Amino acid sequence: MSESVKNMFSVVAKKYDLLNALMSFGTHNSWRKKAVKLSGAKSGMSVLDCASGTGDFAIEFAKITGITGKVTAQDFCKEMLDYIKPKSQKQNFNIEVSVGDVMNLEFEDNTFDIASIGFGIRNVDDTVKGLTEMTRVVKNGGKIIILETGQPEGFFKYPFKLYSNIIIPLLGLIVAGNISAYQYFKDTASKFPYGENFVELLKKTGNVKTCRYYPQVFGVSYIYIGEVNK
């Protein structure tokens, strides 16, 4: 599946940021900012942002880690990563890009203070393998931060289903001329574990003993903060 996922993102790369803003009514960056705040990132730290895409999560981290720190934006789709430089070059950010698969990271053990992944882990073929790799490259006592979709419960459940089954694929068709990529979004998001079920996957890495999580907007998305303890 990896190859088809990579191809799909290379096709929608140009319109990805616009679609993200439309699909989330402009809220998506506030989730990233909140996740960065909860991560405890500080000036001078080194962060690996996996499945970084067009780099919005990496850029939010770089605002905090500053010029004395470093953010590595990693993704297997170069066409997505190519948008990071134009977006960040006017700022004094220290962001490096790295093309590769989350399931086989090129970095040494215990390299980073934090590893993050935003709306990426549900696309990875083997979730536990991807998470295990991320924890491998984080120093003991560091953090793994995941921002991922959830499924709202209660009164918001059905309006959200309608929105993700109909409006999101339609937006994909109208804005990116690609309905299948956004049908894929709906299919993966509706099946992916969230809350305690996701924490169980994270604990299967064997490198995370405690994890806090924070549902956003009635559970549309979740922020997970895991402490790496090897």
Between 51 and 220, name the residue whose CB sits nearer to ligand SAM: 51
**DSSP annotation string for the chain:** -HHHHHHHHHHHHHHHHHHHHHHTTT-HHHHHHHHHHHHT--TT-EEEEET-TTSHHHHHHHHHHTTTSEEEEEES-HHHHTTHHHHHTTTT--EEEEE--GGG--SPTT-EEEEEEES-GGGSSSHHHHHHHHHHTEEEEEEEEEEEE----GGGHHHHHHIIIIIHHHHHHHHHS-HHHHHHHHHHHHHS--THHHHHHHHTTSSEEEEEEEEEGGGTEEEEEEEE--
Q: How far is the CB of 20 from ligand SAM (least distance, A)?
A: 6
Question: Interface residues for ligand SAM in 121-140 (CB under 6 A)?
Answer: 123-124
Give the per-residue contact string, 51-90, with ligand SAM (x = CB under 6 A; - = no).
xxx--xx-----------------xxx--x----------
Q: Judged by CB under 6 A, how many residues of this single chain contact ligand SAM?
A: 21
103 is an interface residue for ligand SAM by CB under 6 A: yes
Cβ closest to ligand SAM, residue 109 vs residue 126: 126
Shortest distance (Å) from residue 87 CB to ligand SAM:
12
- By CB under 6 A, residue 198 contacts ligand SAM: no
By CB under 6 A, is residue 101 in contact with ligand SAM?
yes
Question: Which stretches of the chain bind ligand SAM, using CB under 6 A?
Answer: 2, 5-6, 9, 51-53, 56-57, 75-77, 80, 101-103, 118-120, 123-124
